[in-house]
Chains A and B, each alone.
Chain A
Amino acid sequence: MNQFGHFSLCLAWLLAICGIACGAIAGAKRSRAWFFSAIHATLAMCAASGAALLALGYGFLHDDYTNQYVWQFSNRAMQPIYKISAIWGGMDGSMLLWAFMLAVNCALLAVVARRSPNRLFGWAVAVADSAALFFFTVLVFFTNPFRYLNAATVPPDGNGLNPLLQNPYMAIHPPMLYAGFTTWAIPSAFCLGALLAGDLSNEWLRLTRRWSLVAWGFLTAGIVLGGHWAYVELGWGGFWAWDPVENASFLPWLTGTAFLHSVMVQERKNMLKTWNVWLVLLTYGLTVFGTFLTRSGVVQSVHAFASTDIGWVFLLYLGIFLLTGIFLTWYRRVELRPERRIESFFSREAAFLVNNLLFLSLCFAILWGVLFPVLSEAITGSKQAVGIPYFNAVNIPLFLLLVLLMGIGPLIAWRKASWTHVRRTFFIPFVMALFVAMALVWAGVVEFYPVLSYAICFFVLLTILGEFHRGVRAQKTSADQSMHIVRGVSTLFRRHRNRYGGYVVHLGVLVVTVSITASMAHKAEREFTLAPGERFTHGRFAFTLVSSATTRNDNYESLGADVRVERLNDGGEIALLHPELRFYFRNQETTSEVALRMGPREDLYLVLVGLSPDGQRVGFKLFINPLQIWLWIGAMVMVFGTALLVWPRRAALPATSRAENLAEARS
């Protein structure tokens, strides 16, 4: 299987080269035959990379310790699901998964291209295959996952996977994140393809729309799942610590979100052409940069599970990619000139531009924080890191401004907004938000940012609801006066799915913002020890230690405790929590298994710290995280909104509306 896997990888590498060459010839000579050869090469590349992944998976499931990578990241005691997730537990396998997902995206592009053979697609396939070629080059020459173990005899058992990675979220979080990262390669391929083909109409933007949204949806889901993994696995009571690897996944999300907004300006007003080119190139570049950060060992991180010395290969590729982008943008500078300029600062296009600047400011601030230790070491010789206070101080105001803009930008007119419209749209939400702020202060919430955040979220919520109200009213005016509100909303989604799907995503962002604000501002943290039968009270809850015991299996030894949680007012039992402290034999590592009781008001998050020196008392750390569950729900709303935007439409418009529209166009 090792030989078959390695052969498949080499074949995929060769096919990527064929795909690039055929696609480029097709683009340059407008040859259909070369175009279809590029398509075939890309499909075969995907099949070959899939075969390589299957070969590695087979090795893990059959405990094939002749393979060095399998021996390093698996053992016989691991459950099958973790043997599969161990494929991406280290550098070599995660690169293979990455390359496979990229190849799948290239193949999907090839399938779409097959239906519409044109020059732009030819170049796009060539560029997408060049991204795949880079990852196959890394796999074939630097991180081959099919190396034989250098030992005289095959060991009876493997090293085992890092215990922190033996979590169900690790089975889904990396593939989701990689799906997001690799899907961003396709919009960037279309962009470079359009630059190479010299076709800088809005066609490439229209073609990339669905890819960009899917990439964004996957990236959002991947980031949130990573946050959830950190929340339930790392045992520090939080979900986001501005860790370099977390930030690395967040950077392309920021530029990608900016791109999704600014394309609307180009589609409507033919402005920001160069800006959009650079946003999409930057987004893909940042996904590669994120991989460099994760894999190179340049920055210290709790998530950096796969550190190697091949960072320079990533930097070289990134340099070539960006230089190509710079050259092509310069070469096509005439075609990229905007057809119009922003006429008024008070217009939707200006609001989108400010939105973009804020996203890029956030991106720069986070990038600066991530690279600060590296830069400080290069300049002063000593490594200095910036911590959570820096990230919070810089990012919270920028993020709140963005949320505020989310309630303003989509609601004002293109070109120039009138004061009358602005007053009519925003006056009531503004006054109501002011009341909410005053009510919060009166209720004892006196910190500046939480009050501001809740007030802004309320303001934006009202503006979005107002938008739905005006939309339904407009439907009633133009169609049926007695239209029921549910039918009105459904008609809105049917006719203007892009716009109202976007509002659903914005509602999700609001829920996430409220949850983050609450969990940051009102979080409670306590440490205590209990003997069996003893009780600890905090807020509305009482915690009683029922029992504690040590258990053992082939993989680990565990100290666990049963803690009964009751309501203080009526003594009713809420939950029986079972936190554990595990010691994994093979890895010689101790991990904490958090006991979590999620609720709509707050999460009870209990961590077992250890036994007292006399062994009679059990130590605990308790976190009470208000509104935490709403973070995950809000993220699901965001992904649902994205799915609404991506969902295929019916091929044809209704006959009447089509006839009306065509007549209108011809008139």
Chain B
Amino acid sequence: MIDAGALLALLFTVAVVWFLIAPHLRGTSTALLQAASGGELSEQKRALLQVLKDLEHDFSTGKLSDADYQEMRAGVRGELAAVLKRLAS
């Protein structure tokens, strides 16, 4: 006679194994991962916009000189433009 606990453990194990191999049984099993997904890029865009805002705030509260502000803003805007380009493609 099979022990009920052992049976439960067996069923549990089978369920877990199925759960693990399920992604390989779908049609997309040969699909490749991206370097960064669309969701990540949107998040990156949001972070860069926030950096721009902070730079502006630093400038308006007198912490940054005009030259530094322009230079740092240009750098962040360059990064942002690249992200927007990747998002658009």
A residues adjacent to B (C-beta < 8 A) = 3-4, 7, 11, 15, 18, 22, 26, 30-37, 40-41, 44, 48, 115-120, 122, 199, 203, 206, 267-268, 411-418, 421, 424, 467, 470-471, 473-474, 477-478, 495-496, 498-499, 649, 653, 658, 661-662, 664-667
Which among A32, A40, A667 is the interface contact of B32 at CB below 8 angstroms? A32
**Minimum CB distance partner of A36 in chain B:** B23
| Cα distance A471–B58 in the bound complex, in angstroms | 9
**Minimum CB distance partner of A119 in chain B:** B33
- Rank and list the top 5 A-B pairs by shortest CB-CB distance, nearest first: A36-B23, A33-B29, A474-B60, A665-B80, A32-B31
Evaluate contact between B62 and A470: CB separation under 8 angstroms. yes
| Cα distance A228–B12 in the bound complex, in angstroms | 43
Evaluate contact between A413 and B68: CB separation under 8 angstroms. yes
Given contacts A653-B46, A664-B52, A665-B81, contact A40 B23 (CB under 8 A): yes
**Minimum CB distance partner of B22 in chain A:** A40
Evaluate contact between A414 and B81: CB separation under 8 angstroms. no
Q: List 8 interface pairs A-B (beta carbons < 8 Å), by A numbering.
A: A33-B31, A35-B23, A411-B63, A415-B68, A415-B72, A474-B60, A498-B50, A665-B52
> Quick check: is B34 within 8 A (CB to CB) of the other chain?
yes
| Cα distance A655–B52 in the bound complex, in angstroms | 16
Q: Which residues of A contact B12 (CB under 8 A)?
A: 7, 11
Evaluate contact between A268 and B20: CB separation under 8 angstroms. no
Given contacts A11-B13, A499-B54, contact A206 B43 (CB under 8 A): yes
Total inter-chain residue pairs, C-beta < 8 Å: 142
B residues adjacent to A (C-beta < 8 A) = 5, 8-9, 12-13, 16, 19-24, 26, 28-37, 39-40, 43-44, 46-54, 57-58, 60-65, 68, 72, 77, 80-81, 84
Evaluate contact between A421 and B57: CB separation under 8 angstroms. no
Evaluate contact between A414 and B64: CB separation under 8 angstroms. yes
Q: Which residues of B contact A206 (CB under 8 A)?
A: 43-44, 47
| Cα distance A120–B39 in the bound complex, in angstroms | 14
Evaluate contact between A495 and B16: CB separation under 8 angstroms. no
| Cα distance A116–B13 in the bound complex, in angstroms | 28
Evaluate contact between A33 and B52: CB separation under 8 angstroms. no
**Minimum CB distance partner of B42 in chain A:** A651
Given contacts A474-B60, A495-B53, A665-B80, contact A37 B23 (CB under 8 A): yes
Evaluate contact between A268 and B51: CB separation under 8 angstroms. yes
| Cα distance A116–B34 in the bound complex, in angstroms | 9
Given contacts A116-B37, A413-B68, A665-B52, contact A37 B24 (CB under 8 A): yes
Evaluate contact between B40 and A203: CB separation under 8 angstroms. yes
Which among B8, B33, B51, B81 is the interface contact of A26 at CB below 8 angstroms? B33
**Minimum CB distance partner of B77 in chain A:** A665
Q: How near does chain A come to B34, taking the closest CB pair, in angstroms?
A: 5
| Cα distance A415–B30 in the bound complex, in angstroms | 48
Evaluate contact between B20 and A421: CB separation under 8 angstroms. no
Q: Which residues of B contact A118 (CB under 8 A)?
A: 33-37, 40
| Cα distance A576–B37 in the bound complex, in angstroms | 64
Evaluate contact between A4 and B80: CB separation under 8 angstroms. no
Given contacts A118-B33, A203-B36, A496-B57, contact A7 B9 (CB under 8 A): yes
Given contacts A203-B40, A499-B54, contact A661 B33 (CB under 8 A): no
| Cα distance A666–B77 in the bound complex, in angstroms | 8
| Cα distance A473–B62 in the bound complex, in angstroms | 11
| Cα distance A40–B18 in the bound complex, in angstroms | 10
| Cα distance A418–B67 in the bound complex, in angstroms | 12
Given contacts A4-B5, A474-B57, A496-B54, contact A418 B65 (CB under 8 A): yes
Q: Which residues of B contact A203 (CB under 8 A)?
A: 36, 40, 44
Q: Which residues of A contact B50 (CB under 8 A)?
A: 498
Evaluate contact between B81 and A421: CB separation under 8 angstroms. no
Q: Which residues of A contact B32 (CB under 8 A)?
A: 30-32
**Minimum CB distance partner of B47 in chain A:** A206
Q: Which residues of A contact B81 (CB under 8 A)?
A: 665-666
| Cα distance A267–B44 in the bound complex, in angstroms | 12
Evaluate contact between B36 and A37: CB separation under 8 angstroms. no
Evaluate contact between A470 and B46: CB separation under 8 angstroms. no
Which among B5, B39, B68 is the interface contact of A416 at CB below 8 angstroms? B68
Evaluate contact between B84 and A665: CB separation under 8 angstroms. yes
Q: Which residues of B contact A116 (CB under 8 A)?
A: 36-37, 39-40
Interface centre among B19, B39, B58, B63 (most CB of A within 10 A): B63
